[in-house]
Structure 1
Amino acid sequence: MTNDRWSERRVLTAALVLLAAFVLLDAVLSDVVLSASYAVAAVAASAAASVRRTAAVALLALGLAALAGSWNHNFGSLDWELRVALTAAFGGFAVLTAWIRVRREAALRHMTVIAETAQRALLRAMPNAVGSVGFAARYVSATEEALVGGDLYEVAASPYGVRVIVGDVRGKGLDAVQMAGTVLGAFRRSAFTQESLSAIATDLDAVVRAVAGDEDFVTAVLAEFHDDGTVTMVNCGHHPPLLVTGGNVVDVVPTGAPEPPLGLGPEPHPVTSRWPGGSRMLIYTDGLIEARGPRGDFFPLCDNARALRDGSLDEALDRLLGRLRSHVGEEVDDDMALVLVERRAS
């Protein structure tokens, strides 16, 4: 909202400066009559200003066009009347344009709020810990102009271990939110009934194929954390997690051979590896590593992942996001889901 008001002020200032320039030139140039061009200021204002303020600029332009007859020495003439009429017509057009734009922006904001509310309702609060496994999660919305995405995460304390999913639905908008809800619902069921991650992935793939279009799919990482200090991973077309161990060493977690995303028939083979006590694992969606700086360079995740070692899990994620925003230089342009997991030393 603050950025919107700042943009409106700048556009209004530019419109008034433009109007003043036309009036000054019209008064100085004796062989040129510019009064019919005064309404250009109202048209410029309609790009960002409210209907009321656009109308104010239009009325000011109309009043000055009427007064211009005194310095153009055509007051009351047919030429003067035509120029005033043109100014009124263009001013009315500017007000109509502003009214249409404001209505469309309000409708877009309304739909975006509905979509974001639906999406956030799907993402239940992440527990701080389940047994010896600590958790923190962040969901980062994109800029206001971007549509809502389908990033997702969930944790389930199943009889077979602590299970986690982090995924990303192809596409944006309400369809992506609906697909994310479908995947989360299927995971919450399968995580407690299926004995292996590969069986869970097979269930999720069947669900996605049942409801998805021809080109729709969901990338996902499934993780299962055990009390013996091992973790089992299944990767369906997703970026592998990062493991930050003692000495700030950053490694890619083994997830096996690349498999297609959910909905495209993956045949996942779980990979089990050890992770040391006190180490932290970051599972994320591609919005994190595809964020670009002003020069087009991607966010260097591996270089910044070392910051995840210090402080609490929540503090570590906030620090990483702070570095991301510093790199981007403005708001991020894609949604992202981040889950930071810690094996607490026993």
Structure 2
Amino acid sequence: MSQARDHGGDHWPRRPFGKRADRSAPPDRHRRAVPQLAAGTPVLPALIVSAIVLADLVGGHGMTWVPLLAVGPALAATTNGPRGVLCVGLLAAALGATLDIRGGAPARELAVVVVALMAVTLASVLASASRGRRERVLAAVRSVAETAQHALLQPVPATVGPFQVAVRYSAAAAEARIGGDLYALVPTPHGVRMIVGDVRGKGLPAVGTAALVLGVFREAAYDEPDLLAVVSRIERSLARNLRSDDFVTAVVAGYPRAGQLEVVNCGHAPPLLVRDSVVSAVEPTRPTPPLGLRALTGETPSLQVLPFADGDQLLLYTDGVTEARDHEREFYPLAEGLARHISDEPGQTVTALHDELLAHVGGRLHDDAALLLLRIPGAPAATNGPGRPRTIGPGVSVPHPADQPLRAEPARHGPRSGTAQSDV
């Protein structure tokens, strides 16, 4: 999906994940701010006019600064409303006429100066009025965008079921505040379920697809006891509504019972698991195509069942994070960043990751980016050496906290087949 709009359950939720703006404020707060700014006193333009008058007085005969008085109303048009511009223009015309009379300028020259200053003032008043209208329209559009964002990417509380949760989302289109990345985390009769995904493309078409996926997910998550059935419903809906070249990569996960996490990865970046002293990637046991492409490949998603105990953490993210480049075209090393910033507070972790990501790219993301971090409270975050978890590359298995060997069974393909227990 550079919020950047922030949005978060702890702004992340640029609508940053982490600290975010007060969502309880009424949607028209931007519209109220515009008239207040427009009615402000034009202090700077008045000071500039005064400085020009002083320069003319000090300069003496042979040099005239009067034409520069037009700078006053022109500058006021960029910062003040029509009334403020008119006041500055009248002040400039009056002072300009006074200076010309004091200097003994002919009546014709005096008239030309006054007419020129009033013409500039009139043009500046019209420009100020036009700018005010554009600002009000922009404020209204941003208010609608915020409402749409709240409907699509609903705020996630700091605690959902047994999890501590933190979310941070930034849209590449900063003024739009919404984009093609999506996330949702909902408690259901079948346990807590979540999705993080990335729609192919950007702009309004991507937002529409994200809305479709989230709507189907929220409904199916409550209705379907089987996580693969949830994925299948999303797939069927996309097959009916998407073009043949559109698709959505996503990770759908569920926590049906204590100590057990189910993960279905549909062509998405692998989640990062933090357990004991290890940060590792949860690679899928069998590659699965993105949502919307199953009919082309004939492949069905498989379910991974992972142990998830007290103190474990899971980071779901989109490729806007891992594909962010610095000025030397180097990708952001998310696993290493997570190892540096992991803590017992998910909100603190995602805020640190987001800040480091922005620093890596130089202040602005060029793609939508989402982070969702889960933690089961209980044991403190595992550390290594001076107090930081160590990182293991993708596909490296992580020991279970109870040091129990994990049993692998045939992968489950479809809602009614067996499950797979995976060492992660």
| Identity in percent | 29
Matches within 5 A, 1:58-137: 58-74=89-105, 77-124=107-154, 126=156, 128-130=159-161, 133-137=162-166
Shift in Å, 1:286: 4.4
Q: Is the aligned partner of 1:56 residue 2:87?
A: yes
TM-score, scaled to structure 1: 0.74
CA drift of 1:331 comes to: 8.1
Aligned AA for 1:49? N
How far residue 79 of structure 1 moved from its aligned partner, in angstroms, is 1.9
2: CA distance between counterparts of 1:106 and 1:306? 45
Looking at structure 1, the residues matched to 84 and 173 of structure 2 have their Cα atoms a distance apart, in angstroms, of 23
1:339 to 345, 360, 372: 372
Distance in 1 separating the partners of 2:324 and 2:45: 35
Secondary structure, in 3 states, of the residue corresponding to 1:47? Answer: helix
| 1:22-75: CA deviation from partner (whole Å, max 9, x where unpaired) | 445545274454423322232223223333333333232222222231354315
Alpha-carbon displacement from aligned partner over 1:116-154 (angstroms, at most 9, x marks no partner) = 123213444546244xx5241324466995212134322
* Per-residue deviation, residues 228-249 of structure 1 (Å, max 9, x unmatched): 635323134x4332222222x3
> Once the 2 structures are TM-superposed, how far is the Cα of residue 90 of structure 1 from its aligned partner?
0.9
Q: Equivalents in 2 of 1:106, 1:143: separation in Å?
A: 23
157 and 143 in structure 1: CA distance in 2 versus 1, 3 angstrom threshold: closer
State the alpha-carbon separation in 2 of the partners of residues 262 and 54 from structure 1. Answer: 56
Counterpart contact for 2:160–2:186, Cα < 8 Å: no
Question: Secondary structure in 1 aligned to 2:265?
Answer: strand
Residues 53/287 of structure 1: CA separation in 2 closer, same or farther (3 Å cut): farther
Deviation at 1:254, TM superposition (A): 0.9
Picking from 164, 167, 175, the partner of 1:138 is: 167
Flag structure 1 segments of 5+ consecutive residues without an equivalent: none
Structure 2 counterparts to residues 1-346 of structure 1, below 5 A? 15-16=45-46, 18-20=48-50, 22-24=52-54, 26-27=56-57, 28=59, 30-74=61-105, 77-124=107-154, 126=156, 128-130=159-161, 133-140=162-169, 146-150=175-179, 151-156=181-186, 162-169=192-199, 170-172=201-203, 177-193=207-223, 200-208=230-238, 210-211=240-241, 217-225=247-255, 227=257, 229-236=260-267, 238-247=268-277, 249-255=278-284, 256-257=286-287, 259-260=289-290, 262=292, 267=299, 269-270=301-302, 272=304, 274-277=306-309, 278-289=311-322, 300-306=333-339, 309-321=342-354, 336-343=369-376
Q: How many residues were matched structurally?
A: 336
* 2:165–2:373 contact (8 Å) kept in structure 1: yes
**What secondary structure sits across from 1:39 in the alignment?**
helix
Aligned in 2, Cα 1:221/1:73: closer, same or farther, shift over 3 Å? farther
Aligned AA for 1:153?
A: Y
Mark the CA change 1:295 to 1:162 in structure 2 (over 3 Å): closer, same or farther.
Answer: same
Instruction: Quote the RMSD (CA, aligned, Å).
Output: 4.3
SS of the residue corresponding to residue 74 of structure 1 reads coil
- The 1-side partners of 2:247 and 2:86 are apart by 48
Give the Cα separation in 2 of the matches to 1:301 and 1:153. Answer: 18
Whether the 8 Å contact between 1:220 and 1:262 is mirrored in structure 2 is no
One-letter code aligned to 2:67: A
SS in 1 for 2:79: coil
| Contact 2:322–2:334 (CA under 8 A) maintained in structure 1 | yes
CA pair 60-260 structure 1, distance change in 2 beyond 3 A: farther
Q: Give 1:280 shift.
A: 0.6
1:269-292 superposed Cα distances (whole Å, 9 cap, x missing partner): 335263452321111234545667
Give the direction of change, closer, same or farther, for the CA distance of 1:344–1:100 in structure 2 (3 Å limit): same
Counterpart secondary structure, 2:202: strand
Q: Using structure 2 for the length normalisation, give the TM-score.
A: 0.63
Report the AA paired with residue 165 of structure 2. A
Q: Give the counterpart letter for 1:171 in structure 2.
A: K
Gaps of at least 5 residues in structure 2 are 1-29, 379-401, 403-424
Q: Secondary structure in 2 aligned to 1:340?
A: strand
Q: CA deviation at 1:339?
A: 1.9
Structure with a larger share of its residues in helix: 1
CA distance in 2, matches of 1:262, 1:4: 44
Distance change >3 Å, CA 90–CA 125, structure 1 → 2: closer
Contact 1:135 1:339 in 2 (8 A): no
Task: Answer yes or no: is the 8 Å Cα contact 2:248–2:290 preserved in 1.
Answer: no
